[in-house]
Homo-oligomer: A and B are copies of this chain.
Amino acid sequence: MSLNTDFPIGVFDSGVGGLTVLKALTHKFPHENFLYLGDTARLPYGSKSPQTIRKYTQQALSFLIERKVKALVIACNSASSQFPEKEYRGICVETVIEPGSLMALKATQNNRIGVLGTRATVQSHAYEKVLKQLSEEQGHTQGLEVFSEAAPLFVPLAEEGWSDDPITNLIAFRYVQPLVQKQVDTIILGCTHYPILQASIQKAAGASITLIDSGQAVAESLQAKFDSGIIPLRPSTSSERHIQLLSTDLSSQFEMLSRQILAPAIPSGFEFVEI
Contacts and interface: CB of A to CB of B under 8 A. Distances in A.
Interface of A: 40-43, 47-49, 51-52, 119, 152-153, 155-157, 159-160, 167, 170-171, 174, 249-251, 253
Contacts of A156: 152-153, 155-156
A251 B47 contact: yes
How many copies of this protein are present in the complex? 2
A103 B47 CA distance: 34
Contact of A43 (B47, B174, B251): B47
B157 A251 contact: no
Nearest to A150: B160
Contacts of A43: 47
Contacts of A40: 47-48
A157 B250 CA distance: 26
Given A48-B251, A52-B249, A52-B250, 17 more contacts: A40-B48, A41-B42, A41-B52, A42-B42, A43-B47, A47-B251, A48-B249, A49-B249, A49-B250, A49-B251, A119-B253, A152-B156, A152-B159, A153-B153, A153-B157, A167-B167, A167-B171
A78 to B, nearest CB: 12
Contacts of A253: 47, 119
Nearest to A250: B49
A43 B153 CA distance: 15
Most chain B CB atoms below 10 A, which of A152, A156, A160: A156
